[in-house]
Structure 1
Amino acid sequence: MASTFSELDDLVALITTAVADVKAEYTKLNLPFPKLADVNPHPIDSTIIPQKLQRATQTISGACAQLSALVVPPSQIMYMRAGDFITTASLRVALESNIADILKDHPDGLHVSEVASRSGIEQGKIGRVLRLLATKHCFREVKKDVWANNRLSVGLLQDNPLRYIIAFNADDSGKAGGYLYETLEDKVSGPSYAVEHTPFARFHGKPVWDFFLDNPDRSQRFSKGMPGFAQVFDTNTMIHGYPWQDIPAGSTLCDVGGGFGHISMNIARLNPGLRVVLQDLPSNVEPAKALWQAQASDIIQAGKIEFVPIDFFKDIPVAGCDYYYMKHVIHNWPDNASKTILANVKKAMQPNSRLILQEYVIQHTSRDQDNAQNDLETAPEPLLPNFGEGRFLRYRLDLSMMIVFGSHERTLDNFKELGNAVGLELVEVRNCGELSAIEYRLAEP
């Protein structure tokens, strides 16, 4: 008879092996392992994470969560999950009252009475909020009622862009999420993917883009959070996750909807023989030029960057480029709008061109044969094949896109269907850290 503890033992074994991998990778990088009490930036925070290290951390996260689901009474787990909003609400209190900044110059801690005085929140209540967050390892109680920052809470400092994307999630988006059920069961908004029919629009009385127009402070906060978004979703891993350095000199990369071109600038650094065409809305062209002049003037002087305005719903990108690249563009739009964007890119492509999307690929949670996805990495058993909690970010983002934009992250089948609908064939999916590189070519006639 098989041991009744087999799943427990297998999960512990996965954790043990993954911890050994983490130690080996930090040793290889010649980096000390961070401590939760640290408040200064750690070198790993600005390092492109090796795939083996990332896989180990995903395994640890997924296995620990599954282990907890096995051993903790189900009633407690479900009750705590239904109360996740309390953690979100507590984070918003810490954000709006600038607790991290109040503690910034007090590494040995500050008594709760002083925190209360500076934040304007009653002493007993702010202490309870901090205690809940510290129980989640955000902030640190150095001794009774004396509070200090730690490795997590410094993400809430006003000079950290992560703060602003957390604020959007805890405030504008988080409040709207409470209307998800009402939106889904409604006979009009339920089947609709229009941005006018989202929980965000239901709660705020207008779609997100109109909300930003009417609330410029909220729009500015969201924009300030974009570098923080890049931190969370590790978008820079694309630079080394795709073989840009192997592209022949003289090839052209068209960065469609590339904003100011942070990623394509780094790709150009990696392959100096590459020529870049950066395309985004007209309002972004001059700021992009200023950024490149400040950070990559040598590329401008060499004539290897061109700035071209585009509305990718109406315009065709610069024709005949070897590579077209779109980072986190398609996930902002429902299928019909995404097909319009991809169809316009397809019109610009030549027979040897490639289109590369940098996006999440959603995996199923079952291992049955119908759901086998040989092109995607699956977790070892007994983990869920999608790594469970280890890759939860993409599933949370998927629902966030539903709540705010009426759009979604996509499965491998979804990406194939999108391509087929506009005459593009999916060639390959590469694992590039958190995100994947989804590569298309023109379909055979």
Structure 2
Amino acid sequence: MAAQKNPVAELEQLRDLITSSIEAVKKNAVDNADPLLSLKTVEPHPIYSRNDQALAVALKTISSSAHMLRALCDPNTFINDITYGYHDETALLVACQADIPNLLGDGERHVDELAAKSGLNADRLARHLRNLCNSLIFQETAPNRFANNALSATFKAEGKKALVGHCIDEARKSSCKAWEALTLPEYKDSTAANKAPFNIAYETELDYFQYVSSVRTDIGQRAKTAMAGKGLNLGQYLSLYPWDSQQGAAVVDVGGGIGAATLPILRQYPHLKLTVQDLPDSGPGFKKNLEENYPDILKLGNPQFVHLDFFQSSPVKGADIYFLRHVIHDWPDAEAVKILSNTAASMTRNSKLLICEHVVCPTYRVVDNGTAAANGKERGDENKWEAPEPLLANWGDAPTSRLDLQVFTCLNAKQRTKIEYEGLVARAGLELVKVWRNMGDETILECRLR
């Protein structure tokens, strides 16, 4: 008689993954004498910014396992969350527009007080806040009394509130037109930057950047604030590339805005020489960011801002490192190749181009049939970052796929796979020589002149 199969084998696998990972997190927290890990605390817990690979794996395993566990054990609610989830987004937009996180501060408030200060109807505001409480954003401490928690407190920052507005206002409005963009003859196969769902939603022939710089400057400014204020897990981000080995290197942040991506690097590694290049209207924001948030490196007289239109001209020539973070994903292939080609024109044989992006990885498992070893690579080099069974191979990388649809929706652009990046940089006279990864969402693709 054949042995009976275990009917809950997958549940047990998930249980074992979660249990072992919780023990790893507990050991790390105890070893570092950490405070209580709880959503009820308002300050960010130090465990999230600690640069520890084993800890990062454990945290990601718990998160991915819990997500899959809910889908497995409560599929109807899981699907309903997706179907009705836009109401959660709306509730978050309401809370941020009304500035509820700052109105609450460190205490708790009755909804009548919050409504009076925000000019809203108390009952309707309470219903939106209660919906967020069900998603563990804010906490309801008593009937119609609310307080911040670890999640809601993040939206005190202007950059986070702007990101909510950018995503849930113009991006969601544009996303609702995705079906039209996929089916209308003039849109469905177009690779033009002005043939995005955004163009249907806003009834314009201008591409997104043209529109928000000339027609809707209000949402353009909000988008800039949002992009400048996007949170970085600095521990993972700074460890993504060995900056400490680049003694005295001249770094050019191409299309770097106000320096949000590279000023943290310079603070950690002051031996670098930094130039941020972007359109002239980013200059005042760069100066303000430097003065208000980085007075320590301002004293060094090191970082500078230089004007650049990366479609019209090349960056500062002869630098050791050219850094593009979240630039290429904003553009369809033709424009992306133009940016890369102009950057390559400034590079020497010793220069490196570092492209920092979310790289699309498959949910399925890559089978190593020996070709990796035949091509001189370590066996398993391509899939060593895969999640353990029964998780999706890419850990359920929703942030990357959502960002992919975000840039499609607004810009007719895309997040790309490693293979797509190899083809893209080749068209610009470059070659991909190394991929730098850790357990964070971002990847650095190191390129050199071909």
- State the TM-score, normalizing by the size of structure 2: 0.87
> Partner of 1:379 in structure 2?
387
The letter of the residue matching 1:431 is R
Which residue of the other structure, out of 384, 399, 405, is the alignment partner of 1:399? 405
Q: Aligned equivalents of 1:316 and 1:352: distance in 2?
A: 17
Letter in 2 for 1:5: V
Distance of 2:274 and 2:174 partners within structure 1: 39
Q: Which amino acid aligns with 2:57?
A: R
Amino acid at match of 2:38: K
**1:378 alignment partner, SS class:** coil
Asked if the contact 1:316–1:344 (Cα under 8 Å) also holds between the matched residues in 2, the reply is yes
Q: Aligned residue for 1:94?
A: 95
Higher mean alpha-carbon deviation, 128-137 vs 200-209, is at 200-209
The one-character-per-residue Cα deviations of 1:120-171 (angstroms, maximum 9, x if unpaired) are: 44443333222221111111111233222222122333x4421110121121
1:238 deviates by 3.4
Query: What is the one-letter code of the residue matched to 2:448?
Result: R
Who is 2:21 aligned against? 18
Which one is further off, 214-223 or 87-96? 214-223
Give the length in aligned residue pairs.
430
Question: What aligned pairs does 1:4-403 form with structure 2 within 5 A after superposition?
Answer: 4-43=7-46, 47=49, 49-73=51-75, 75-104=76-105, 107=107, 109-157=108-156, 159-206=157-204, 207-209=207-209, 210-229=211-230, 231=231, 233-234=232-233, 237-247=236-246, 249-285=247-283, 287-288=285-286, 292=290, 294-300=295-301, 304-305=302-303, 307-369=305-367, 374=382, 377-388=385-396, 391-403=397-409
Measured in 2, the distance between the counterparts of 1:90 and 1:297 equals 40
Pairwise CA distance, 1:44: 5.2
Q: For residue 448 of structure 2, what is the aligned residue in structure 1?
A: 441
Supply the distance in 2 between the matched residues of 1:268 and 1:118 (Cα, whole angstroms).
41
Determine the structure 2 residue equivalent to 1:414: 420
Distance 2:411 2:384 in 1: 27
- Partner amino acid, structure 1, of 2:274: V
- Aligned partner of residue 369 in structure 1, secondary structure: coil
- 8 Å CA contact 2:158–2:225 kept in 1: the answer is no
One-letter code of the match for 2:74? V
Query: Cα offset for 1:375?
Result: 6.1
Q: Distance in 1 between matches of 2:392 and 2:347?
A: 39
SS at match of 2:185: coil
Whether contact under 8 Å (1:238, 1:437) holds in the other structure is: no
Q: Deviations over 1:252-304 (max 9, x none)?
A: 2222222233443443444444333332223334654565574424432xxx5
**In the superposition, relative to structure 1, how do residues 242 and 90 fare at CA in structure 2: closer, same or farther (>3 Å)?**
same
**TM superposition shift of 1:440:** 0.9
Give the gaps of 5 or more residues in structure 2. 370-379
> Does the Cα contact within 8 Å between 2:34 and 2:46 map onto a contact in 1?
yes
- Secondary structure of 1:110 counterpart: strand
Q: CA deviation at 1:117?
A: 4.0
For residues 30 and 61 of structure 1, what CA distance do their matches in structure 2 show?
23
Distance change (3 Å), C-alpha of 1:163 and 1:268: closer
Partners of 2:229 and 2:260 within 8 A in 1:
no
CA RMSD of aligned residues (A): 2.6
Q: What is the identity percentage for the equivalent residue pairs of Structure 1 and Structure 2?
A: 31
| Paired residues of 1:280 and 1:310 also in contact (CA < 8 A) | yes
Query: Contact conserved, 2:252 with 2:323, CA < 8 A, in 1?
Result: yes
Question: Residues 272 and 162 from structure 1, CA distance in 2 versus in 1: closer, same or farther, beyond 3 angstroms?
Answer: closer
Deviates more, 1:123-132 or 1:404-413: 123-132
Q: Flag structure 1 segments of 5+ consecutive residues without an equivalent.
A: none
Q: Tell me how far 1:51 sits from its aligned partner.
A: 3.4
> Which residue number in structure 2 is paired with residue 3 of structure 1?
6
The residue type equivalent to 1:19 in the other structure is I
- Quote the offset at 1:385 in angstroms: 0.5
Counterpart residue identity of residue 354, structure 1: K
Q: Distance in 2 between matches of 1:227 and 1:34?
A: 28
1:348 is paired with a residue whose SS is coil
Native 8 Å contact 1:176 1:202 kept in 2: yes
CA contact (8 A) 1:239 1:263 kept: no
Does structure 2 retain, via aligned residues, the 8 Å contact 1:251–1:322? yes
> Which region of structure 1 is more displaced relative to structure 2, 25-34 or 82-91?
25-34
SS across alignment from 1:196? coil
Q: Counterpart of 2:373? A: none
Q: Would the alpha carbon gap of residues 271 and 171 (structure 1) be closer, same or farther in structure 2, given more than 3 Å must change?
A: closer
**Structure 1 residues 294-315: Cα deviation after superposition (integer angstroms, max 9, x where no partner):** 4424432xxx555432211121
* Alpha-carbon distance in 2 for matches of 1:322, 1:28: 40
Which secondary structure does the structure 2 equivalent of 1:170 belong to? helix
Compared CA separation, residues 168 and 327, structure 1 to 2 (3 A): same
Give the superposition deviation at 1:9.
Answer: 0.6
